Amino acid sequence: MKVPFVDLKLQYQNYKAEIDKAIADVIADTAFIGGSGNKYVQKFESEFAKYLGIANVISCANGTDSLEILLEAYGITEGEEVIVPALSWISSSEAVGRCGAKPVFVDVCEDTLLMDLNLVEKAITKNTKAIMPVHLYGNALNMEEVMRIAKKHNLIVIEDCAQAHGAKYNGKLVGTFGHASSFSFYPGKNLGAYGDAGAIATNDETIAKKCRMIANHGQQRKHDHIIEGRNSRMDGLHAAILSVKLNYLDGWNLARNKAASHYSKILDSTNVSLPIQNKNAYHVFHLYVIRSNKRDQLKEHLSSQGIEVAIHYPTALPFLNAYSYLKHQPEQFPVAFKQTKNILSIPMYPELNVEQIDHISKVINNF
């Protein structure tokens, strides 16, 4: 039995009529480019704002841009520092570097692989301006503690929710704790477009206005360029597709949770350890990440059986070539350094069925 890592084709088949209509409507209206005149983009922005319970959602071209635009809107620049977890997708530190600031990495917890909040205060210097926590794999970070630390040191908090649409901490949606939050709608994310797309959410009107300007060539109105901005807009097609898919997000997250519970019930190999839900978190399992000290052999074994797997991520951020200039050593981030050799993401998506999970688990248990 072959099992894909995600099955976007199956998802499309299940909602084909609705999605095809959404796409046809946008084309009939030639409402291609985002901006103040696009009703599909405006509709999705207001629906997503309502979903989050946040006053402003500003769509943009992708989830990396949303981080970068936010850092720029907060005026973060050269000589300043932003705290990010050592284990994440490169966007976390890339956005900081692109603003001319320095990414300061913090190691992750041994159990959850989320940023270790006991280490954050040690990383704060007089140049620190912001913390960009990541709800990695869909697991919600303790945002109450992040906000306590940020308040004490007068820091901005930008939540990276790229992997955690609909996740909650203490019953409250992630992306609603920080000063602002960032979302990616990359196709494979829990809420995904049919190409690149992203969004910013914030209750801060001034920041919202700035972000909207930056994302659309610095224009306040057409041809009224207040500043130099950039071209980072969400396409009408993606917005219309996302409007359809948003209705199903909570159900899909529930299905991911059920799939995760089923895995956890069946997987009993002594060679692997299972993902741990953070205390008080509603985990939305963007990824289901197991660990094994025979990871590479296990990966090979699963691949040979037609089960698609992946590693998120094979190298912790401080040890990427892009950051060699920071001269980081493994001892500085021992957990991230060690766990990147053990982690393995196995198939996880809402449509994953019990037979598939049983099969994958059996192959792992027999390894």
Ligand X SMILES: *Cc1c(COP(=O)(O)O)cnc(C)c1O
Chain contacts with ligand X (rule: CB under 6 A): 62-64, 88-89, 91-92, 134, 160, 162-163, 184, 186, 196, 198
DSSP string, 222-248: TTEESS---B----HHHHHHHHHHHTT
Is the Cβ of residue 70 or residue 213 nearer to ligand X in the bound state?
A: 70
Output 133 or 350, the one with its CB closest to ligand X.
133
Nearer to ligand X, 56 or 163 (CB): 163
Q: Which residues contact 168 (CB under 8 A, 6 or more apart)?
A: 140, 174, 281, 282
| Least distance to ligand X, CB of residue 343, Å | 14
Amino acid identity at 67: L
Q: How far is the CB of 270 from ligand X (least distance, A)?
A: 31
Structure tokens at 100: 């001319």
Report the residue number, 92 or 361, with the smaller CB distance to ligand X.
92
- For the bound state, the minimum distance from the C-beta of residue 251 to ligand X, rounded and expressed in Å, comes to 22
Of the pair 71, 272, the CB lying nearest ligand X is at 71
| Cα gap 6→352, rounded to integer Å | 8
What's the min distance (Å) between Cβ of 162 and ligand X? 3
Give the 3-state secondary structure of 98-142: HCCCEEEEECECCCCCCECCCCHHHHCCCCEEEECCECHHHCCCC
Cβ closer to ligand X: 92 or 278?
A: 92
Indicate the residue whose CB is closest to ligand X: 63
Residue 356, both tokens: 């598939």
3-state class (DSSP) for residue 203: coil
Residues 254-257: contacts with CB under 8 Å, at least 24 apart: 255/350, 255/351, 255/352, 256/138, 256/190, 256/284, 256/285, 256/286, 256/348, 256/349, 256/350, 257/283, 257/284, 257/285
Burial classification of residue 279, based on how many CB atoms lie within 10 Å of its CB (0-12 exposed, 13-18 middle, 19 or more buried): exposed
CA-based nearest residue to 366, from 303, 306, 280, 302: 302
For ligand X, give the closer residue by CB, 163 or 202.
163
Task: Name 202's Cβ contacts closer than 8 Å, sequence gap at least 6.
Answer: 54, 55, 56, 58, 70, 179, 180, 181, 208, 211
The residue among 128 and 163 lying less far from ligand X, judged by its C-beta, is: 163
Tokens of 304: 């040979």
Taking the complex as a whole, how short is the minimal distance between the CB of residue 301 and ligand X, in angstroms? Answer: 26
Q: Are 225 and 217 in contact (CB under 8 A)?
A: yes
Of 95 and 363, nearer to ligand X (C-beta) is 95
CB of 161 to ligand X, least distance (A): 8
- Pick the closest to residue 165 from 98, 256, 101 (CA basis): 256
Please check whether residue 156 is in contact with residue 124, taking contact to mean a CB–CB distance below 8 angstroms.
no
Measured from the CB atom, the residue of 285 and 361 that comes closer to ligand X is 285
